[in-house]
A and B are shown apart, each in its own frame.
Chain A
Amino acid sequence: MIYLDNAATTMHKPQAVIDAVAAAMSTFGNASRGAHEGALTTSRVIYRTRAKLAAFFGCPKSEQVIFTCNATEALNIALTGLFHAGDHVISTELEHNSVLRPLYRIREEQGVSLDFVPADKKGCVDYADFERLIRPETRAIVCTHASNLTGNRLDIGRIGKIAEAHGLLFVVDASQTAGAARIDMEEMKISVLCFTGHKSMMGPQGTGGLCIRGDVPIRSFKVGGSGVQSFLTVQPPEYPTHLEAGTLNGHGIAGLSAAVDFIQSVGRDTIEKKETALMMRFYRGVSEVPGVTVYGDFSTEDRSPIVSLNMWDLDSAMAADELAQTYGIATRAGAHCAPLMHRALGTEEQGAVRFSFNWFNTEEEVDEAVSAVREIAEWARP
């Protein structure tokens, strides 16, 4: 199989990640639950992984790296725990449902009002719109770092400056960038960074988290066992315990730790350059094919390694199935949980076929995918 669905999850993981998970599964006790060597071993790995991630993302305090099972859970924790009735939040049309649905929920259940910065036909925003939408009760800007549909990146450094200038919280969904793109919470003025471990970080599924910069109180999303302060009737107030009830995914976190080590040994910048080169090779190849429409802004290479396209008026689901069944190429069709983005692109009915690239892909695989697109487009020609 040629795996080009890395925006959904990276299938090929570094061997060190696999080895770390396997080793953890035969040596780990329950972190924070006891002082025997099995429990302490796990607690130490989790502690060190927080420190690695804090350094990797520029989060000043490692105890404010909170582990979750994915970015969606991190976003739910942040978005349901930050706001109060009457608050106003600005987001964008680039968002995934992992941002949109928590926002819609707090609009319904907490009385928070929302505005969305629009995207144009190329999936780009006008940064002046962020300032235009700010009003006295605005509390935060919540946005993705990169669209999971087009790969277009938002300039989060620029948005962070806007947020800081207006005294707003800045919450970033880094699902499509963490691990590959440079992120510095301090420099980019990010208040809360939500990330997943299983995409461009190349770690195990079931890992992710949120990093909190500065004094940002977030209400507990879930409460329960903490391994400390057991006679308190509420979740202990200290981070990370405040937001981490129940047993953590220690095995997965061990793999995530190895994934960070892998990224740093290869070099994040090196990984990003290779992924960008693969994406641009594919983009240039398919752009020449008659009947192919590519979505997104390719005037810059500062984007995530995603190319979404359609061929004539061919149903994207049929195209993806043909790619999988005839050519052995894994892609993702449909709406990609990004309804506002599809609406902005005018692809609500047809959806799109998304090709997404990773460190482990090769130029040969890219060329095979271009050939497959050429053949399918020729077949679909009206």
Chain B
Amino acid sequence: MREKTLRLIVAFASTHDAMAFEETCLSRGVPGRLIPLPREISAGCGLAWSAPPGEEAAVREALDAAGIREQALRPCLV
């Protein structure tokens, strides 16, 4: 089992938003990847973007560029 590390997690309202955000991050070089939505962020299921904790500014800029309103954006041990 991998050891948990602190990550910046972004949760989305829909898979479409998650896909749009991934595309935007890839095009802008924002590091991270899609992961299953951690329970600490929200119960249920869905996708979340996991980014290094120091990338909040880049992540917020990417959200703006993609025109996405996130459901949650905060650090989390995953």
Q: Are A63 and B43 in contact (CB under 8 A)?
A: no
- Given A35-B34, A40-B34, A47-B23, verify A227-B16 contact (CB < 8 Å): no
* Complex: A32 Cα to B16 Cα, angstroms: 9
Residue of A nearest to B44 (CB): A230
B interface residues, tally (CB under 8 Å): 19
Q: Are A227 and B15 in contact (CB under 8 A)?
A: yes
Cβ of A33 to closest chain B Cβ, rounded Å: 8
On chain A, the residues within 8 Å of B23 by CB distance are 47
Q: Which of B22-48 contact A (CB under 8 A)?
A: 22-23, 34-36, 43-47
A interface residues, tally (CB under 8 Å): 23
* Complex: A174 Cα to B22 Cα, angstroms: 32
Cβ of B76 to closest chain A Cβ, rounded Å: 15
Q: Are A238 and B20 in contact (CB under 8 A)?
A: no
- Given A34-B36, A227-B45, A231-B43, verify A240-B19 contact (CB < 8 Å): no
On chain B, the residues within 8 Å of A32 by CB distance are 15, 46-47
Cβ of B19 to closest chain A Cβ, rounded Å: 4
Q: Are B44 and A229 in contact (CB under 8 A)?
A: yes
Residue of A nearest to B11 (CB): A228
Which of A43, A230, A238 is within 8 Å of B19, CB to CB? A43
On chain B, the residues within 8 Å of A6 by CB distance are none
Interface positions of B (Cβ within 8 A of A): 12-20, 22-23, 34-36, 43-47
Which of B15, B22, B34 is within 8 Å of A228, CB to CB? B15
Q: Are A240 and B45 in contact (CB under 8 A)?
A: no
The digit string for A212-242, where 1 denotes a CB below 8 A from any CB of B, is 0000000000000001111100001011110
On chain B, the residues within 8 Å of A44 by CB distance are 19, 22
Cβ of A220 to closest chain B Cβ, rounded Å: 14
Q: Are B36 and A43 in contact (CB under 8 A)?
A: no
* Complex: A115 Cα to B59 Cα, angstroms: 52
On chain A, the residues within 8 Å of B17 by CB distance are 63, 238
Q: Are A47 and B46 in contact (CB under 8 A)?
A: no
On chain A, the residues within 8 Å of B12 by CB distance are 228
The digit string for A170-206, where 1 denotes a CB below 8 A from any CB of B, is 0000000000000000000000000000000000000
* Complex: A367 Cα to B17 Cα, angstroms: 51
On chain A, the residues within 8 Å of B22 by CB distance are 44
Query: Does any Cβ of B come within 8 Å of A31's Cβ?
Result: yes
Which of A35, A47, A229 is within 8 Å of B16, CB to CB? A47
Q: Are B20 and A47 in contact (CB under 8 A)?
A: yes
Q: Which of A26-49 contact B (CB under 8 A)?
A: 31-35, 40, 43-44, 46-47
Query: Does any Cβ of B come within 8 Å of A50's Cβ?
Result: yes
Q: Are B44 and A31 in contact (CB under 8 A)?
A: no
* Complex: A355 Cα to B22 Cα, angstroms: 46
On chain A, the residues within 8 Å of B47 by CB distance are 32, 35, 43, 228
Known: A35-B47, A230-B45. 16 other contacts (CB 8 A): A32-B47, A43-B15, A43-B18, A43-B47, A46-B19, A47-B23, A50-B16, A227-B15, A227-B46, A228-B12, A230-B43, A231-B43, A231-B44, A238-B14, A238-B17, A241-B16
Which of A33, A40, A231, A240 is within 8 Å of B14, CB to CB? A240
